[in-house]
Amino acid sequence: MSPMMAMDDGPSSPRITDYKKEGVVAMVKARGGWLTVFFVGLVLAAVVVERFEDLLTREVELSYFVPLLIGHGGNTGSQSVATVIRAVALKQISPRDMLSVLVKEAVAGVIMGAFLGLLVFSFALVWDGISPMVGLVVAVSLPLVSLWANLLGGLFPLLAVWMGYNPAVTSAPLMTTVVDSSGLVIYFLTARALMPKFAEVAGEGALS
């Protein structure tokens, strides 16, 4: 038994079965419920896009970066999940260390997101196909999405262990499902907040 499966820091230890002895039906039962939950969560991403359809209609360039925001949130969150699961397996951390883990992951997420956001904004300044306004929105959104994804990536594995679930089965898909829809909300709300201000400043500059 691996160190992670032997640890007992919550109400119950993770329920582990022998893969060689587990039948296909049992496997489907174990995974099917979670996959249904994840599927419903992914549908929410489409609902989010529909809710902000008016914004995307006015600012089509925002749609160019939707795959980037979704992909980045999933990637950075998955890295966080993998790092935390490994640390739990090696008994370096436990659910009792949740606060320190979340703070560490949040800071790392902001730093990485800010660096990538700066790259996108710099790219927007030299590429005619993307306006600096949209580049700024993406540059601000990336650190926020990274912060959120890393927080969830650190939280879900520790919660799974504490609740007695296998974090390897639930954490990464659940994190990706939540980040896909909530990351888009962060992106579109950032656009709604910044774009009018940017346009106002640009208008004042043109008049002066």
Please compute, for residue 155, the number of CA atoms within 13 A of its CA located in the half-sphere on the CB side: 14
Token pair of 185 as six digits? 């909300």
Write out the E strands in 14-163: none
Tens-digit pLDDT profile for residues 33-87: 767 777 877 788 889 989 999 999 989 999 999 999 999 999 999 999 999 999 9
CA angle in degrees (0–180, nearest 5) for 73-76-77? 75
The reported pLDDT for the residue numbered 198 is 56
- What pLDDT is attached to residue 208? 42
Query: Which tens digits make up the pLDDT trace of 121-143?
Result: 999 898 888 888 999 999 999 99
The CATH number of the structural domain formed by 22-192 is 1.10.357.20
Residues 6+ apart with CB under 8 A from 149: 72, 73, 74, 76, 77, 80, 109, 175, 179, 183
pLDDT of residue 19: 66
Q: What is the pLDDT of residue 158?
A: 94
pLDDT in tens, 149-194: 999 999 999 999 998 888 877 787 888 888 989 999 999 999 999 9
pTM of the complete model: 0.78
What integer pLDDT is reported at residue 129 of this predicted model? 80
Q: What is the mean pLDDT of the chain?
A: 83
- Residue 16: the pLDDT is 56
Give the whole-angstrom CA distance, residue 149 versus residue 80: 8
Q: What is the pLDDT of residue 6?
A: 40
Confidence of residue 30 (pLDDT cuts 50, 70, 90): low
Question: Residue ranges of the domains in the chain?
Answer: 22-192
Q: Is the pLDDT of residue 202 over 90?
A: no
